[in-house]
A and B are shown apart, each in its own frame.
Chain A
Amino acid sequence: MKDFNLKHTWTIAKYHMLFSLRSGGGIVFLLMTLVSAMVIASIFILPVEAMVGAGGDLGLGNDPAITGNIIKEISGSSIVRGLVNWLIGGEGQGSYLLNEKPALLSCIMLALLMLLPFLVCFGAFNQTTSDIANKGLRFILLRTERVNIYLGRVMGTVLFSLTTVILIMVLLVLYIQFKLGIYEVGSLWIWSVQGGVAYFMLSLPFVALCAWISSSFESPFGSLLLCLLFTGLPAIFLKMLNRYLDADFSHKFWPTGWKFGMLNSDLTMVLLTGTVLFLFTVGFLMLGLRSFQKRDL
């Protein structure tokens, strides 16, 4: 780490972020993430829009207050609350997410958080793989150290993911605010910021994991497959271990086990989740950097 140079790292990050948009993977990631977010959002929003439309047809007018009350009725039901409690694995969290916060946005955010680790793989699988394969990194190595290249690429990928997350949240909130108009503007935006932070924090360890895998392989396709496998398989294995041991902590040994923690009502839990996700990120970064420092470029 003694060769670390922030100026070099930042320059590499900036160019990697811009280059992401020129590369096929970047465009596919952007389009896939945006389309997935819109499809998930439509699953929750279309029925609400149908309710608003039906209200208009019945002569009740398109009053957002009526629709808001219907959503409150649905989200207040014990079945829906129980479902969210089961999903998050915390008693009382269903009530917090559905009654105290904008329920529609909470549901969309929960669904997106489940999908996010896999989407991140599409944007992060090719941080160094292609350049290792075509020996392109040798030219950059004349000007800077390996640590700056590695951390610069990771930082660029994180910035690219962050931009995509911000774009998704802004699109969703603007749509809910202006088209449906069922929530108070302030609470909607504050909750969306917390959701954005949750996405960002959850994406960090997976970007670092993909950076590690990406620096260990010379085939972009192989790297993508392994990124997807290492994102999903440990989570499934640890869930099965939970069943086998009759425990409820095994899944916490992988970042996916903390995916909903940033939306918790308890501030201590939010801080703990943030710390754990950060530690996972640092761990994956150290392992990846160690492998990148030693490998033949």
Chain B
Amino acid sequence: MSESTRPGGLIALAILNFLFGAIGFLVVSSRVLSLAMKEQVIAQDPRMEVIIHDITVTSIIFGTVLTVLLIVSGVGYLKQKRKLGYLLGNLTSVIWMGYIILTTSGFNIMSSALFLFPVLTLMMLNVMFKEDFINP
């Protein structure tokens, strides 16, 4: 199968991975900055302590790993690679769901909306595009 027969859906998934990866990068960067400048921020506005208190090192590590995985698996989708695309894409979705559970407090409608993309990715990779990862 040549690159021209790559399904459009796989390209869309890759672009969405890059998009969410970029958003993830911004979120992780802002969390690192907030943690690094904790004292100054709280000194300026004591109400910020509640928000900064919720930021943990674990969530930052989780977020960084997720961001990298999103971008790498996006490249894997485009190159139709079995390990880099299919396997890593599945792993990314599972880690993403874990990240949502770790960082959101309680189950609500917004947190369930965050589950949409990883669940959709899992379904698409394992039902629609399973046979399209033709490169090792």
Contacts and interface: CB of A to CB of B under 8 A. Distances in A.
Do chains A and B stick together as partners?
A: yes
Interface stretch (A32-40, A67-75, A85-93, A190-198): A32-40
A211 B108 CA distance: 38
Contact of B128 (A21, A41, A179): A21
Contact of A35 (B108, B113, B128): B113
A205 interface: no
A1 interface: no
Nearest to A18: B128
Interface in A211-262: none
A117 interface: no
Contacts of B110: 38, 42, 46
Interface in B82-120: 107-110, 112-113, 116-117, 120
Contacts, number: 61
Contact of A46 (B15, B16, B108, B124): B108
A34 B108 CA distance: 15
Contacts of B113: 34-35, 38-39, 42
Nearest to B123: A21
A27 B9 contact: yes
A94 interface: no
B109 A24 contact: no
A35 B113 CA distance: 6
A25 interface: yes
A34 B109 CA distance: 12
Nearest to B115: A38
A45 interface: yes
Secondary structure class of chain B's binding surface, majority of residues: helix
Given A21-B124, A27-B124, A38 B8 contact: no
Interface string B1-35: 00000011101110110000000000000000000
Contact of A30 (B15, B109, B120): B120
Contacts of B117: 31
**Contact-size category for A:** 20 to 34
Secondary structure class of chain A's binding surface, majority of residues: helix
A7 interface: no
B109 A27 contact: no
B12 A24 contact: yes
Contacts of B116: 31, 34-35, 38
A43 B7 CA distance: 35
A22 interface: yes
A49 B106 CA distance: 11
Contact of A22 (B16, B107, B112, B128): B128
A291 B12 CA distance: 30
A22 to B, nearest CB: 5
A27 B7 CA distance: 11
A25 B13 CA distance: 11
B53 to A, nearest CB: 19
A22 B7 contact: yes
A28 B8 CA distance: 11
A23 interface: yes
A45 B16 CA distance: 27
Nearest to A180: B109
A184 to B, nearest CB: 21
A4 interface: no
Given A23-B7, A24-B12, A42-B109, 4 more contacts: A22-B7, A34-B120, A38-B113, A46-B110
Interface of A: 21-28, 30-31, 34-35, 38-39, 41-42, 45-46, 49, 171, 175, 179
25 contacts: A21-B9, A21-B124, A22-B8, A22-B9, A22-B128, A23-B7, A23-B8, A23-B12, A24-B12, A25-B12, A26-B9, A27-B9, A27-B12, A27-B13, A28-B12, A34-B113, A35-B113, A35-B116, A38-B116, A39-B113, A41-B109, A46-B109, A46-B110, A179-B107, A179-B109
A-B complex: 8 closest residue pairs judged by Cβ atoms = A24-B12, A38-B113, A24-B8, A23-B8, A42-B109, A27-B12, A22-B7, A22-B9
